[in-house]
Chains A and B, each alone.
Chain A
Amino acid sequence: MRVLVIEDDREIAHFVAKGLKESGNTVDIAEDGDTGLETARGTAYDVLVVDRMLPGRDGLSVIQILRAEGNRVPVLILSALGEVDDRVKGLKAGGDDYLTKPFAFAELMARVEALARRSAPEESTTRYTVADLTLDRLTHKVHRADQHILLQPREFRLLEYLMRHAGQVVTRTMLLENVWDYHFDPQTNVIDVHISRLRGKIDKGFERPLLHTVRGAGYTIRDSAD
């Protein structure tokens, strides 16, 4: 995966670039808005990581120009401003996801991967399958090894999100944002308890667990035999 990081804070830029490179990605860094815009125009990237506050042209304006030119590259906005309306403004400008500084690298990595994968035509998929677990988005039915599993609406949405990102790490914050649409930190481990309930329904009584905890990062659903 090829990622462009537009960030004027060198320490953060190198922290992000180092982590992404170690995960086997190619990373370019631009230190101001105009350079970033030129670089993004000249090369096909899988994801852009754009800081909001940049010297010269600011991050939101870079994204707006790219979008106006028809560039659909997925964009993750980084910002020190993390309040409700800042996020809304960022997404309105054409960003696809929003991450507040300071952040854990695992959080950024999980979001960059989710964005890169998102370019695949997923919305037309009506059925997700991981090993012998299937989820049908049209009939809202979930089966494991031909056994029907009853889920509450929210549990269904949680499993749907995890399966859409099968094989990827999904953080607690991503789940809270995408399954519950909450953009705040709920202090206690509310997500963990929901995951453990879901695990009780889809993994309990089966030999091979599919829903895994990734230490220090979040969760992933995958066929462990892969």
Chain B
Amino acid sequence: MAIALLVRSAANRVLTEAVEVTIEADARQLSEVLSAGGMSALQLAVGEKSRHSSGGVYLLLDVAGRRLAGNIQERPASFEGGSGAGVFRYRLAGRQGRGAQPDEERLAAGIQLDLDGGGTLVVGREIESQRQLLSSINRSLLFGLGAFAVFGIVGGFLLARHILARIDAMSRASQAIMAGDLAGRLPRNGSGDELDRLAEQLNEMLARIERLMSGLREVSDNIAHDLKTPLNRLRNSAESALLDARGAPAWREGLQRTLEEADDLIKTFNALLLIARLEAGSIAESFETVDLAEIARDVAELYEPSAEEAGLSLAIITPPSVPTRANRQLVSQALANMLDNAIKYGVRQAGSPSVAGPGILVALDAEGDTARLSVADRGPGIAEADRKRALDRFVRLQPSRTKPGSGLGLSLVAAVAQMHNGSVALEDNQPGLRIVLSLPLAAGPLSVANSDPNRSRARNASEHGHSD
């Protein structure tokens, strides 16, 4: 609308200026004729212009007001009595004008000059065609605007209806999801436009929530199961001791068993709480500069006799030093859990092909900005499909659950990794399981001698006197 008005006023201004310039030029030229040749020369010139000029409007009157020359009949009414300028209506005199009816009234702009020595000259310019052009522009603009408005309204209505229909569909889908259909997803049309992308992102969010929910459900199922079983055992041992006819000695035994069961429950709760705290990231301020190689050697040394008792040799390969920022207790505990797992499940299967090398290998290497601390065994390993699940809370892949343990060991490793911005991977050791704990190395230059790994087999380490 604003643009249409602008076009109209610009057109008007250009035309008006052109008219003014022409009128002034005409008037100046006629004034020069008067100065040079007097009234009779002017009369001739006006007569000439009146016959040949197209669009020019002229009238020359003598002192008495009689018409001497010109192409209009009479002086415009607005110019009576004195000089002036303005817009006026006129009728053509005689046969002038191209295709115009003689009696047709037309619009002109002009000036009136009082001549030296009496007489009056009116010089003007017909602006009827300009008026018609302007009104034609007006009509076009109005029509354009109208069409524009109609198309805009109709198009906008259709577009809005289309978008609203899609939003409506999304709203219905989300209501179904809110009503409990967690598998539901928002509809997509595949166009890749903003709405489609929004639906895609919301669907990804829903998928993640669904995974978390099912994980949570699994965890609470497992918690219920894993805490109910020892509680049952605890209750049974207390009851059977109480019913035992032997009296005091049986009570003592029963209480002893009850205590052991209670201790196991407490351990499970402690592990759960620790994992929850690690996942909340609340103890990141406890990081210090530690040497991962030293941690690996120390924990391997702690577990080496237990591994040997289980019939497994334990070897360690590590560079002399791998310094990084970490929580020593938690990384040690993670490695302890990895070794605990290897000792429990890493016993070679009967009939499996014998492989050279140690039963359990602890390896540490630093590459780029990551340290990889791994524990590999030669046991049955974990099927690829189960590997991800093995890191979940309370998941114990052996359905019988005969081995002691809370099912939280590897979840804690995962939580420790996450807290250190690292990761855990379960890999195929061909045969066996390799658990890899990757931790980011401290920024800055490190004195890591990768090229010369200090290989030592703990079980074969020669005995020597204490020397520190």
Mark each residue of chain B from 240 to 281: 1 if its CB lies under 8 Å from any CB of chain A, else 0. Answer: 000000000000000010010001001100100010010000
| B336 touching A186, Cβ below 8 Å | yes
> Do A183 and B329 form a contact, CB below 8 Å, given A104-B263, A153-B466, A216-B256?
yes
Q: In the assembled complex, which residues on chain A have CB atoms less than 8 Å from the CB atom of B302?
A: 180, 182, 186, 190, 194
**Are the CB atoms of B467 and A190 closer together than 8 Å?**
no
A187 to B340, CA, bound (A): 8
Ranked 8 nearest A-B pairs via Cβ: A156-B466, A140-B466, A193-B305, A184-B333, A85-B286, A150-B463, A193-B306, A84-B329
**0/1 string, A69-89, CB within 8 A of B gives 1:** 000000000000011110010
CB under 8 Å from chain B, chain A span 64-118: 82-85, 88, 100, 102, 104
Asked if A23 lies at the interface with its beta carbon under 8 angstroms from chain B, I say no
A188 to B299, CA, bound (A): 13
Set of chain B residues within 8 Å of A194, measured between Cβ atoms: 302, 305
B window 324-348: CB within 8 A of A: 327, 329-330, 332-333, 336-337, 340, 343-344
Which residues of B sit under 8 angstroms from A88, Cβ to Cβ? 286
A130 interface residue, CB < 8 Å from B? no
For B405, the closest partner residue in chain A by CB is A187
Contact between A180 and B298, CB atoms less than 8 A apart: yes
B285 proximity list for chain A (CB < 8 A):
85
On chain B, the residues within 8 Å of A186 by CB distance are 302, 336, 340
26 residue pairs of the A-B complex, CB under 8 angstroms, read: A82-B270, A83-B283, A84-B327, A84-B329, A88-B286, A100-B270, A102-B266, A141-B465, A150-B463, A156-B466, A157-B466, A180-B298, A182-B333, A183-B329, A186-B302, A187-B267, A187-B337, A187-B406, A188-B340, A188-B343, A190-B302, A190-B305, A193-B305, A193-B308, A194-B302, A216-B256
Is there an interface contact between A152 and B267, defined as CB atoms closer than 8 Å? no
Q: Does chain A have a CB within 8 A of B468? A: yes
Indicate whether A207 reaches chain B with its CB closer than 8 angstroms: no
> Which residues of the other chain, B, contact A85 by a CB distance below 8 angstroms?
283, 285-286
* B266 nearest CB neighbor, chain A only: A102
For B329, the chain A residues whose CB sits under 8 A away are 84, 182-184
Chain B positions within 8 Å of A, measured between CB atoms, are: 256, 259, 263, 266-267, 270, 274, 277, 283, 285-286, 298, 301-303, 305-306, 308-309, 327, 329-330, 332-333, 336-337, 340, 343-344, 404-406, 409, 461, 463-468
- Given known contacts A190-B306, A216-B256, is B463 in contact with A152 (CB within 8 Å)? yes
- Which residues of chain B come closer than 8 Å to A157, judged between CB atoms? 466
**Which residues in A have their C-beta under 8 angstroms from that of B277?**
83
Pair B286/A153 contact, Cβ less than 8 Å: no
- Cα A154 to Cα B266 with chains together (Å): 29
Residues of A within 8 A of B (CB): 82-85, 88, 100, 102, 104, 140-141, 150-154, 156-157, 180, 182-190, 193-194, 196-197, 216
Interface of B is mostly: helix
Residues of the B chain whose Cβ atoms lie less than 8 Å from the Cβ of A83: 274, 277, 283
Q: Are A197 and B305 in contact (CB under 8 A)?
A: yes
Tell me which residues across on chain B come within 8 A of A189, comparing CB atoms.
Answer: 306
Residue of B nearest to A154 (CB): B301
> Which among A140, A141, A190, A196 has the greatest number of chain B C-beta atoms within 10 A?
A190
A193 to B305: give the CA distance in the assembly, Å: 6
Query: What's the nearest-Cβ distance from chain B to residue A182, in Å?
Result: 6
Least Cβ–Cβ distance between B324 and chain A, in angstroms? 17
B306 — which chain A residues lie within 8 A by C-beta?
188-190, 193
In the docked arrangement, what's the CA distance between A182 and B332, Å? 8
CA distance A84 to B283 in the complex (A): 8
* Separation of A183 and B332 alpha carbons in the complex (Å): 10
Residues of A contacting B465 with CB < 8 Å?
140-141, 150-151, 156
CB A33 to nearest CB in B, in angstroms, measures 25
In the complex, A196→B308 CA distance in Å? 12
The reply to whether A190 and B303 form a contact with Cβ atoms under 8 Å apart is yes
Contact A184 B336 (CB under 8 A): yes
CB distance from A137 to the nearest CB of B (A): 9
Question: Which chain A residues border B405 with CB–CB below 8 Å?
Answer: 187
Closest chain-A Cβ to B330's Cβ sits at a distance in Å of: 7
